[in-house]
Structure 1
């Protein structure tokens, strides 16, 4: 099993999403010692945001022989990122909710792997995902309560990620969620403890599948 492990929190090792994603990966590798893990901290080593010149490299619109060394380097980065993604059977993502959505650092990575002809294609009947057969585990953290209640309509984090990976053909998405993390130490601890239990259940489900 090849596992791609991504973190995207600006809080680094103090991050709850880091903690949860690490629990998940540690649980997987404990049960599956032969698993190969590729780790990326998208904040410590950020992927530059998409530009027209960078996108042209994987959309087949870059004029032959044009572009400077920096653009060529970014084209190579795009290729490395999509190849790394396609070589993985399981992708574990530590993702906090920022302003109701995902960190921009994660969005930059997502923009690089959504490549026509590699992870999706357009047909006369509409887009078709090409990356099916993979599984996603989201270590999702939120300061408030967004899974239910009045704020549920502002969840553009998990809902967006499900839609995005679904577009790429991946519908096997598991979520380990910790909410109310900014609502006091007691609620934070309760939520992280419950998420740790949920992480064990997800690891068992992933390995059983």
Structure 2
């Protein structure tokens, strides 16, 4: 059966977000091809995503020194409990879809906060004598993103740090099969924007239709 975790990080509605419109196209095609897969949606702007603040860091320190969970403050228990829920949810999934805008060469801070809840030693990676090892091998991910400018070529080439960072984090926890679908130039005029959006829509449909096929060569659209 399997489970796909569909993660969106945009404060605007789907009608006002190109990245979410492309994500919707991916999801619709994927559902048709994989009706038995459980799909879990996670809207980061409408979820409780704890920050790694003083409460959390202090609580982890206490637990590391042997104190019990019950000895923590109610606020610390609440935040750690929620982080544990999010980590377990991420581990239980087999496929991941991240849908984000590109903001100032990165993604919204809600996604960084979310990443901090699943990049947890002992759950998604472990330390060994030869270095860290990811524990989520064999899983796949897609990053769907919309950008106002052009970052795959020209003066700003290579400045889409969000896509490279997300791939690095996912690779660190063992998810090395990551495909990007990025609609660029959406702020450069109606014709260019529509062309870029349409291309991304077609790529989303194609990838979704073949996402679960074994042995499929990974395609990088960015």
Shorter-chain TM-score: what band? over 0.9
User: 2:5 aligns to what?
Assistant: 4
Structure 1 position 86 matched with structure 2 position 91: yes
Aligned mates of 2:75, 2:5 — CA distance in 1: 26
Shift of 1:197: 0.6
Residues 31-76 of structure 1, C-alpha deviations (whole Å, 9 max, x = no match)? 1111111111111224132124324656752732432212211111
Distance change in 2, residues 1:56/1:200 (3 Å): farther
Alignment length (residue pairs): 209
**Structure 2 unmatched ranges of 5 or more:** 215-222
Aligned mates of 1:105, 1:198 — CA distance in 2: 26
Aligned mates of 1:58, 1:175 — CA distance in 2: 34
Aligned mates of 1:57, 1:180 — CA distance in 2: 44
Aligned mates of 1:128, 1:5 — CA distance in 2: 25
Residues 116-148 of structure 1, C-alpha deviations (whole Å, 9 max, x = no match)? 000011112111111111111111111101122
Structure 1 position 61 matched with structure 2 position 60: no
Superposition pairs for residues 116-155 of structure 1, below 5 Å?
A: 116-155=121-160
What's the C-alpha RMSD, in Å, of the aligned pairs? 1.7
Aligned mates of 1:52, 1:127 — CA distance in 2: 25
Moved more, 119-128 or 57-66: 57-66
Moved over 3 A (4+): 55-60
Distance change in 2, residues 1:57/1:12 (3 Å): farther
Superposition pairs for residues 178-189 of structure 1, below 5 Å?
A: 178-189=183-194
Aligned mates of 1:169, 1:58 — CA distance in 2: 24
User: 2:218 aligns to what?
Assistant: none
SS in 1 for 2:145: strand
Superposition pairs for residues 1-209 of structure 1, below 5 Å?
A: 1-13=2-14, 14-55=16-57, 60-61=63-64, 63-64=67-68, 65-209=70-214
Q: Could you tell me the TM-score, scaled by structure 1's length? A: 0.93
